[in-house]
Structure 1
């Protein structure tokens, strides 16, 4: 992502856009892109948009082989959007947020169980470590997982309402759309988009 952004000279424009206060949502690599601090970067590092006061471990959960799905408790999302108390989260070679500043609201976290060896414990010697996997800071929303790979559209609705605060046409369109249709039944089997609610809006 950063390589393409550099290739097409998008970094300055993306930083300028973020500074306007308009909503930005970063998923997985996008979360890394929005972070102020990143651990485990590839050799030579990468340019960041920044703005999200947090420290992200770029490849916290391991390689592609360690991709996984899990049910996340999402009380903040339920309060805003209703539906099931959990969200089926798809983590693909995912990052994690190790530290978050005081202005960052943690919307979802995940507890990692480390192994028995000293090598598999965290820096404090604990066998369990809680990491943030969804956060919001002002106009910035970030998730370590991929909400677009499920039929549950609540994260998309949540973000569109953030957009709606700066673009009233989006909010007016959402008012006419039943974005919660079909969300109470979690889709755990492929095809992942089966039963997905329809959204339509204009910017």
Structure 2
């Protein structure tokens, strides 16, 4: 089987860390900044960063509608932190003009775990990931308020949903790309392979 090509949406956020993590699990990883680059990838990571800035830049660079179209058409996609917000069908507390790509039938709350100085790390048991808990890095992290019937909860922390999957879409509230543990990225690469 050929090596999957996985893009990282490179408008804003921790792009480099995802590129490194994907390369570590035998994917060809490349930044994606233009709509035409979406046709060249087998999967996409929407990184952490600032969801309102990401939304504004996606619109500014003509990426929002092409992203929505590719996700609706079944492109495997993985969002971390702000990426989870971007993949939500609805935000509970959006900023003025904030939009999402959508793709996961969930409602999310931005900055739910607190401000920057309240960021933390915690062990998270993640369904589908073998070898024990993953280290969850929560930075101004969102949580999932509610989900639709087709959404599978993969992890909870402190009573809140922090990882979900719906079909070919995966999302976590935390940042596995910052830990050196590439099991979540490997899980996503396996999703991409299964979709091909």
TM-score between both structures, scaled by the size of structure 1: 0.68
1:17 corresponds in structure 2 to: 70
Q: 1:30 aligns with which of 83, 87, 91?
A: 83
Deviation at residue 77 of structure 1 after TM alignment? 2.6
Deviation at residue 5 of structure 1 after TM alignment? 0.4
Please list every run of 5 or more consecutive structure 1 residues that lacks an aligned counterpart in the other structure.
112-129, 168-203
Q: 2:191 aligns with which of 147, 162, 166?
A: 162
For residues 54-81 of structure 1, give each alpha carbon's deviation from its aligned partner in whole angstroms, at most 9, with x where no partner exists.
110011011111111001122x133xxx
Q: Counterparts of 1:90-101 in structure 2 under 5 Å?
A: 90-101=137-148
Please list every run of 5 or more consecutive structure 2 residues that lacks an aligned counterpart in the other structure.
1-53
Q: Do the aligned residues in 2 keep the contact of 1:77 with 1:155 (CA within 8 Å)?
A: no
2:125 corresponds in structure 1 to: 73
For residues 79-107 of structure 1, give each alpha carbon's deviation from its aligned partner in whole angstroms, at most 9, with x where no partner exists.
xxx212x1110001110001111110000
Question: In structure 2, how many angstroms separate the alpha carbons of the residues matched to 1:66 and 1:110?
Answer: 15
**Secondary structure of 2:114 counterpart:** coil
Question: In structure 2, how many angstroms separate the alpha carbons of the residues matched to 1:142 and 1:108?
Answer: 10
**Secondary structure of 1:17 counterpart:** helix
Q: Do the aligned residues in 2 keep the contact of 1:77 with 1:154 (CA within 8 Å)?
A: no
Establish whether residue 149 from structure 1 lines up as the match of residue 178 from structure 2: yes
1:89 corresponds in structure 2 to: 136
Name the count of aligned residue pairs.
Answer: 143
Deviation at residue 152 of structure 1 after TM alignment? 1.1
For residues 33-63 of structure 1, give each alpha carbon's deviation from its aligned partner in whole angstroms, at most 9, with x where no partner exists.
1101101222x13111112111100110111
Q: Do the aligned residues in 2 keep the contact of 1:110 with 1:132 (CA within 8 Å)?
A: yes
Q: Do the aligned residues in 2 keep the contact of 1:40 with 1:59 (CA within 8 Å)?
A: no
Question: In structure 2, how many angstroms separate the alpha carbons of the residues matched to 1:58 and 1:145?
Answer: 12
Give the CA RMSD over aligned residues: 1.1
Which one has a bigger Cα radius of gyration? 1
